[in-house]
Amino acid sequence: MTYPGAPIQGVTLYSFTRAFHGRQYDLEGLIRKVADDGMGPGLEIIGFSAFRGFPDIDDAYVDWFQGVVADSGLVLTSCAVNTDIGIRRDRLLTDEELIAYMERQIAASARLGFPLARVQISLTPDSMERLLPVAERYGITLAIEIHAHHHPHAPMVQALRDRYEKLGSPLLGFVADWGTTTSGLAPSMVEAYRRRGASQELLQAADQLWRQYYQDGPPPTEPAHGERFGSFIELAGRHGFPELGIDLAINATGLFGPARVESWLEIMPWVRHVHGKFFGIDQTGEEPSVPVRELVAQLVETGYQGAISSEYEGWHWNYWDDAFDIVAGEQALQRAAATDAGSQMVVDPAVARNQLQGHFGRAVAAG
């Protein structure tokens, strides 16, 4: 049977940050846990958080890592790299310094065997054009992540899309993060604030404010986003919890975006990877704050052949549930959604590798 689109099941190790930081697992242990629990075959890793010394890695480390991945049977999909223009104490990086900083990370990602490097929205269209020869040199795709509070219709995203279209290179694209298209605040986050002492009145007011912003749609400008950020700080103070204000504002406006699912259609031809951002699974097996079924159906209907990295973000506040069980539940939801849409998620490593070769237009390493 031929399906219009068959996304590849995968996960980012970022989902298990709490277990990694708590030293329940080291990098190899996490990779093998993902493989043993059937959460692959796609594997995404954040460079700086997982690889000691990144981006300065030697051949022995590369050989060791690729051996572990090959032995696990997983397939590398994305290495998340950082666009940290503020890493100096005295000033921001110049354009030249930023390009050099990015090239080191891109080169390391390619050496490790990743077909794609996820870069961040602070890179301008000019920067991406300057990095295209770097991508060509190392044979790796560069994809800017669209993450809340940004969205597909944001001016900077549109400018990037226009530049991609002008350059016409398959090595440039986007990572679509589902946190851009949420439908409400996560119950687990609300519960975490309740455990920290927030009143029911504050929690209800925060929910009402977020829903008003959802009705209004994504912030049209950066000042508008700043105003929304400030309104949550003001709300917490007005209800007697000023100490929660900044934290609430960061989460409500930085993790939960109000863009609609259909907005992704604007840039779908340039989507090279997907972050299946989610925050929890309820007792019915659904994600109450992310329209997972609609998002998966859209990928199937548009013929997407890349990977979806399940990205559990609820670990920031949820310390009482097991992240591995939660990710397994979300992946079951994705598989059910793909079936309902007339397709199926790819879970076989050999099929995934062959499909990614077609998706990226070149061979994908076995590990």
Residues noted as catalytic: 147
* Dist. CA 260–CA 300, nearest whole Å: 17
- Which residues in 140-178 are b (16+ Cβ under 10 Å) and which e? bbbbbbbbbbbbbebebbeebbebbeeeeeebbbbbbbb
Q: Beta strands 75-80 and 8-12: pairing type? A: unpaired
The tally of CA atoms less than 13 A away on the side-chain side of residue 106 is 26
Tokens of 129: 């054009």
Tokens of 223: 């000042």
Task: Please say whether the beta carbons of 311 and 277 come within 8 A.
Answer: yes
* Dist. CA 286–CA 36, nearest whole Å: 24
Long-range contacts of 298-302 (CB under 8 A, 24+ apart): 298/261, 298/262, 298/264, 298/265, 298/268, 299/5, 299/7, 299/274, 300/3, 300/4, 300/5, 300/6, 300/7, 300/338, 300/341, 300/342, 300/343, 301/4, 301/5, 301/341, 302/4, 302/5, 302/265, 302/268
**Which residues touch 229 (CB under 8 Å, ≥6 apart)?**
249, 250, 253
Phi and psi at residue 271, to the nearest 5°: -80, 120
Task: Please say whether the beta carbons of 119 and 102 come within 8 A.
Answer: yes
Residue-by-residue DSSP string for 259-322? --GGGGGGTGGGEEEEEEEE----TTS--TTS-HHHHHHHHHHTT--SEEEEEE-GGGT--SS-
Question: 116 in helix, strand or coil?
Answer: strand
